[in-house]
Amino acid sequence: MGLVRMFSGSSVGETPPQAPNPDPKRFKELRRYAGLNSAAVELVYEGCTTYEGRKILVFKGPSPLSHILTQPLGVDPHFSDSRAGAHPFARFEPTAIGWRTACRLVDSL
């Protein structure tokens, strides 16, 4: 029993701690890249600990990025079918390679 518990990482009935979800209204823009039919943006969400709160998001469609970033509901970095506000079409790892890949996607759309 002791060995199983030692290697399992948690006791029976315990749930692992979860990283806080980003607050869609509490973010700072780091950079943006706009194309004809899409745009990429890198945001830092306050209080989010995964990747230090950094998210690289790609939005497609005719809405200008300035409109997306000032939505009353904020910018939720999660994918959604909801029609309430704009949601990202794609997300990339917040690294130099992730940013270059997001910009290449924007150029290709």
Residues in the chain: 109
Alpha carbons 43 and 52: distance in angstroms, whole number: 11
Based on the structure, what is the number of domains in the chain? Answer: 1
The confidence score (pLDDT) of residue 40 equals 97
Q: Give whole-number Cα distances, 38 to 5, 42, 43, in Å.
A: 49, 14, 16
- Determine, yes or no, domain membership for 72: yes
- Determine, yes or no, domain membership for 25: yes
The confidence score (pLDDT) of residue 84 equals 85
- Determine, yes or no, domain membership for 49: yes
Domain enclosing residue 95, as ranges: 20-108
pLDDT digits (tens, 9 = 90+) for 52-81: 999 999 999 877 888 899 999 999 999 898
Find the angle CA(79)-CA(82)-CA(85) to the nearest 5 degrees: 85
56 within 8 A of 93, measured Cβ to Cβ = yes
Position 19 confidence tier, pLDDT thresholds 50, 70, 90? low
- Determine, yes or no, domain membership for 12: no
- Determine, yes or no, domain membership for 2: no
- Determine, yes or no, domain membership for 73: yes
